[in-house]
């Protein structure tokens, strides 16, 4: 049985950078470290962090004085940052540079007097962070159909949450252009998600069975599994190699493997070794 691995699979740049920063800081045991929310949507990584004494909290005010707080890779709002600073906590900010770039763009557009439109999920922390850099007239839209033309100012700046699709973004830009006098649109979508989706489909199209590796709580891993299943390939989503069952591969000549952006290499490698040993 041939095992083919997707060209783009596993940790994206931002997640890898965040984990490296936290693990290296965790070696210094001077202070207790807390991540604001799970650092990565992967139970194996969270267990590894727990072994290093790193804990996770839901809110800044749950962190005891004198501790370290880690701000997540998708960023936080300015008020969360201020609260942590006012509590005297040591802050490790692992906001992905692609997300920080959206903050900078929104900050400068707001300063220049543009109304900000954000394509994204209103309840997501990343969007709350972006929104905190925008002025009072900012609007969050989940797609072009949410647009209410009467709410638009003359000068509008548009950005997207990094995980949005280009298709949705261009639909929104086109809809806004029909109503606003001046539109400045910045495609702030990160390619990590679309690269993994395209690579998963490439492999699935030539595989008899697909194995998708990653946390069940990871939205991007679940989406990869959906894409493979939609290509009519029997697809199995596993978190670890132990879950693999031999009878999934009866009569299969080629098995494809892919993994979400939050899946660490050591978990992917264990899955590949198990498959190759079959």
Catalytic machinery residues: 126
Q: How far apart are CA 20 and CA 83, in angstroms?
A: 25
Q: How far apart are CA 120 and CA 124, in angstroms?
A: 8
| Radius of gyration of the chain from its Cα atoms, rounded to whole angstroms | 21
Taking residues 44 to 63 in sequence order and writing x for each that binds ligand SF4 by CB under 6 A, - otherwise, the string is: --------------------
Which CB atom, from 39 or from 152, has the smaller least distance to ligand SF4? 39
13 lines the binding site for ligand SF4 (CB under 6 A): yes
From the list 262, 184, 266, 180, the residue with the least C-alpha distance to 222 is 262
Which CB atom, from 96 or from 203, has the smaller least distance to ligand SF4? 96
Q: Decide: 218 and 191 in contact? Cβ < 8 Å.
A: no
99 lines the binding site for ligand SF4 (CB under 6 A): yes
Which CB atom, from 207 or from 264, has the smaller least distance to ligand SF4? 264
Q: How far apart are CA 210 and CA 13, in angstroms?
A: 24
Q: Decide: 130 and 118 in contact? Cβ < 8 Å.
A: yes
Which residues between 64 and 83 bind ligand SF4 (CB under 6 A)?
A: 73
Which CB atom, from 63 or from 192, has the smaller least distance to ligand SF4? 192
* Residue span binding ligand SF4 (CB under 6 A) among the ranges 41-49, 81-89, 173-181, 187-195: 187-195
Residue 70, SS3?
strand
Positions touching ligand SF4 (CB under 6 A) are 12-15, 73, 96, 98-99, 162, 190, 192-193, 261
């Amino acid at each position: 049985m041939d095992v083919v691995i997707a060209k783009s699979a596993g940790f994206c740049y931002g997640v890898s950078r965040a984990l490296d920063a936290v693990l290296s800081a965790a070696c210094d045991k001077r202070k207790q470290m807390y991540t604001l929310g799970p650092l990565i949507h992967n139970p194996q990584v969270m267990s590894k962090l727990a072994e290093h004494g790193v804990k996770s909290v839901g809110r800044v005010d749950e962190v005891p004085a004198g501790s370290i707080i880690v701000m997540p890779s998708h960023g936080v709002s300015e008020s969360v940052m201020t609260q942590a600073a006012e509590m005297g906590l040591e802050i490790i900010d692992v906001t992905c540079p692609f997300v920080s770039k959206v903050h900078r763009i929104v900050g400068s557009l707001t300063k220049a007097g543009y109304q900000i439109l954000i394509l994204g999920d209103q309840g997501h922390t990343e969007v709350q962070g972006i929104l905190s850099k925008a002025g009072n007239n900012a609007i969050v839209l989940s797609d072009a159909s949410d647009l209410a033309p009467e709410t638009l100012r003359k000068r509008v700046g548009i950005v997207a949450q990094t995980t949005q699709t280009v298709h949705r973004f261009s639909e929104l830009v086109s809809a806004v252009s029909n109503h606003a006098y001046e539109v400045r649109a910045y495609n702030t979508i990160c390619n990590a998600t679309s690269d993994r989706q395209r690579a998963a489909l490439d492999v699935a199209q030539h595989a008899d069975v697909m194995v998708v590796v990653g946390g069940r709580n990871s939205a991007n891993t679940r989406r990869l599994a959906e894409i493979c299943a939609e290509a009519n390939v029997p697809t199995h989503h596993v978190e670890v190699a132990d879950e693999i069952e031999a009878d999934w591969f009866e009569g299969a000549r080629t098995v494809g493997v892919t993994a979400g952006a939050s899946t660490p290499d050591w978990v992917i490698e264990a899955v590949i070794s198990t498959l190759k040993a079959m």
